[in-house]
Amino acid sequence: MCPPTPPDAPVTSARGPTRLRVDTLLKADAIDDFTHGPFDPRVSHYTPIGYPCDADDEPQMATTMSRLSRKADSARTVALVLAVLGYRRRLRRRDQWSRPKLLSYQDEALARLRAHAYAKSPFYQDFHAGLTDAPLSALPVLTKQRLMDNFDCLMTRPDVHLANVERYLAQLRGNELFNNRYFVSATAGTTGRRGIFLWDFAEWVQVVSSYNRAFDWAGSSAGLTHRVKTAVVSSTNPSHQSARVGASIHSRWVPTLRIDSGDDIASVVARLNGWQPEMVIGYASMLRLLAEEQSAGRLAIRPQFIFSASEVLTDATRRLAADAWGRPPYNVYGATETSGIAAECGQHAGLHLFEDLVITEVVDADNRPVSPGQYGTKVLVTVLFSRTLPLIRYEMSDSLQLAPPGHGCPCGRPYALISGIQGRQQEALNFPAADGHARTIQPLVFHHVMDTVSAAGWQVKQQGDGRLVVLLAQPQHVDPAALRVALRSALVGQGVQPPPIEVQEVPAIPRTALGKAPLIIRQ
């Protein structure tokens, strides 16, 4: 049913560069076709620019990009920036919708996604066999493992094969596209096998726009006539989605300094001081560190907008950032698979779900819906604009909570609110209870204790033998014995037997390959 990967399939198309169709892309109708009408592959097949090279040229492509290709690259960037600005207007109009209108749009968008998947994806034809008319909640859950095991079958385009995408990713250096057509990002692979995701130009417009919506809601009116100097302290690995988004929109309209969050903090501070960004985007752990640096006087920047774009933004980090820069940070929730999922508006009353772009189901370990006001174990996401790689009820291990009824946001936007994000399922640690059974302790239990500690960062590590090791980066006036007592009593309060706890002072919290510093980890 699913065609096998041709052994010597070319990595890139043999066609010459596709003519740039800015006019097509800019017509509201072109984007509209994608989101409102039946899917029109012609829009995405006019994906702007390719490099005229054969598979044999591919290894040299990144380093020997011709002048012509660089021009093509710039043209694609211009087209993307303009298309995103155009799409922003559409997204803004949705902010004015009533909730019934939003839900009705969501139903229509879901029907279009499913019709596309059933027509074009051999995997979904089989996976949803007999269920094509069933409600979303009756459909099977798609895990990352299953997705990657069935990658070629799941694709709706015959020119995408995993082996070729892997080869392309191994050589990716900048903003080159796979098969001259697709933007590709990979997840870190910290939780098992890495996931690989693809988007064509029309989809990528919506990926970038979803992140841009968070900036828009915060009041940043970046555009062609108003540039906002931005600093992103994140992963600079070219296959990481934030690097990919950054590379694709890098232009004089989007002056951005990208810093790897794994770099030495003194160097990060020096570069930020030199750049003086108006907008700072970083992982929560990095914002905390930077807030400490600002308060200590080593960092001296005055950003108008601060975004926490990954990891758990705890109340303490939020306060530290607000104290350091005189304005609260905006929390943004996104993932490689979905792009932006939710963001805060200026009310900071929670994160509004981007329900016009992604359907987010908060569920327990058995995929049953969890009531608002309760933390789920994971989320199932359906990405309404996904077409190249349709994602329907895709499982992600984030634990979050929808706001209970009556806890709306005064801004009037129609989107549901997330009232809490406590991290990933992997951050929930197990301890023995008095009855001998293992019991799961949610990350928030540790956040509440550790948030009282004054330090440039912290991490709770559960060792293989169950012991807890607490790392404190540059702690100030912290009594390790008192901290151990506080953690022990929090665990006893949850009905579990506390293990031995060790507190260690470290110069910095160790970061993962992508530069993150998880608050809670299991070893």
- What is the C-alpha to C-alpha distance for residues 166 and 203, in angstroms, rounded to an integer? 21
Residue with tokens 């300094």: 257
Query: Looking at 140-148, 166-174, 303-311, 342-350, which segment touches Zn ion (CB under 5 A)?
Result: 342-350
Stretch that binds Zn ion, among 143-151, 306-314, 338-346, 479-487 (CB under 5 A): 338-346
What DSSP element (H or E) covers 259?
strand 256-260
Closest to Zn ion by CB, 197 vs 330, is 330
Beta bridge partners of 459: 471
Q: Binding mask 430-469 vs Zn ion (x if CB under 5 A, - otherwise)?
A: ----------------------------------------
Q: How far is the CB of 96 from Zn ion (least distance, A)?
A: 13
CB closer to Zn ion out of 18 and 347: 347
- 377 vs 379: CA distance, rounded Å: 7
Q: Nearer to Zn ion by C-beta: 73 or 344?
A: 344
CA distance 349 to 36: 30
Q: Interhelix angle for 315-325 vs 284-295, to 10°?
A: 40
User: Is residue 171 near Zn ion by the rule CB under 5 A?
Assistant: no
In sequence order, the 6+-apart residues with CB closer than 8 A to the CB of 100 are none
**Residue 494: HSE in the Cβ half-sphere, 13 Å Cα cutoff:** 24
* Rounded least distance, CB 412 to Zn ion, Å: 7
Under the criterion CB under 5 A, does residue 419 sit at the interface with Zn ion?
Answer: no
Q: Which stretch binds Zn ion (CB under 5 A): 21-29, 328-336, 406-414, 475-483?
A: 406-414
**By CB under 5 A, residue 205 contacts Zn ion:** no
Identify the bridge partners of residue 394 per DSSP, sorted by sequence position. Answer: 142, 381
Nearer to Zn ion, 244 or 413 (CB): 413
Piece in contact with Zn ion (CB under 5 A), picked from 84-92, 297-305, 347-355, 483-491 = 347-355
Region binding Zn ion by CB under 5 A among candidate stretches 186-194, 343-351, 369-377, 462-470: 343-351
User: Would you say 2 or 411 has its CB closer to Zn ion?
Assistant: 411
- The residues that bridge with 231 in the sheet, in sequence order, are 257, 280
Rounded-to-integer distance, Cα 300 and Cα 241, Å:
29
Which one of 169-177, 258-266, 283-291, 403-411 is the stretch in contact with Zn ion (CB under 5 A)? 403-411
Exposure string over 396-417, b if 16+ CB within 10 A, otherwise e: bebbbbbbeeeeebeeebbbbb
Of 482, 158, 185, 210, nearest to 343 by C-alpha is 210
Per CB under 5 A, the segment of 239-247, 346-354, 394-402, 450-458 that binds Zn ion is 346-354
Does position 416 interact with Zn ion (CB under 5 A)? The reply is no
Compare residues 4 and 410 and give the one whose CB is closer to Zn ion.
Answer: 410
Strands 330-335 vs 417-424: parallel, antiparallel or unpaired? unpaired
H or E stretch covering 101: helix 99-120
- Does residue 418 touch Zn ion according to CB under 5 A? no
Say whether residue 190 binds Zn ion (CB under 5 A): no
Buried/exposed code over 457-481 (b: 16+ C-beta within 10 A; e: otherwise)? bbbbbbeeeeebbbbbbbbeebeee
Output 55 or 411, the one with its CB closest to Zn ion: 411
- 220 or 386: CB nearest Zn ion: 220
For Zn ion, the closer of residues 141 and 411 by Cβ is 411
Closest distance of CB 408 from Zn ion, Å:
8
Count residues contacting Zn ion (CB under 5 A)?
4
Phi, psi for residue 99 in degrees, rounded to 5: -65, -45
Q: Which is nearer to Zn ion, 140 or 346 (CB)?
A: 346
Q: Which of 347, 426, 494, 512 binds Zn ion (CB under 5 A)?
A: 347
* Closest CB to Zn ion among residues 151, 415: 415
Question: Closest by alpha carbon to 286, among 233, 236, 244?
Answer: 233
In whole angstroms, the minimum distance from the beta carbon of 320 to Zn ion comes to 23
Tell whether residue 409 is a contact of Zn ion (CB under 5 A).
yes
Token pair for 197: 């995701």
- Smallest gap from Cβ 347 to Zn ion, in A, equals 5
User: Whole-angstrom Cα distance, residue 383 to residue 17?
Assistant: 30
Q: Tell me which stretch binds Zn ion (CB under 5 A): 195-203, 409-417, 440-448, 464-472.
A: 409-417
Shortest Cβ 57–Zn ion spacing (Å): 50
* Closest CB 111 distance from Zn ion, rounded Å: 28
Among 411, 478, 490, 506, binds Zn ion (CB under 5 A): 411
Among 165, 259, 345, 514, binds Zn ion (CB under 5 A): 345
- The secondary structure of 33-99 as a DSSP string is HHHTSS--HHHHHT--------GGGHHHHTTT--HHHHHHHHHHHHHHHHHHHHHHHHHHHHTTS-H
Residues 6+ apart with CB under 8 A from 94: 102, 105, 356, 414
Rule CB under 5 A: which residues touch Zn ion? 345, 347, 409, 411
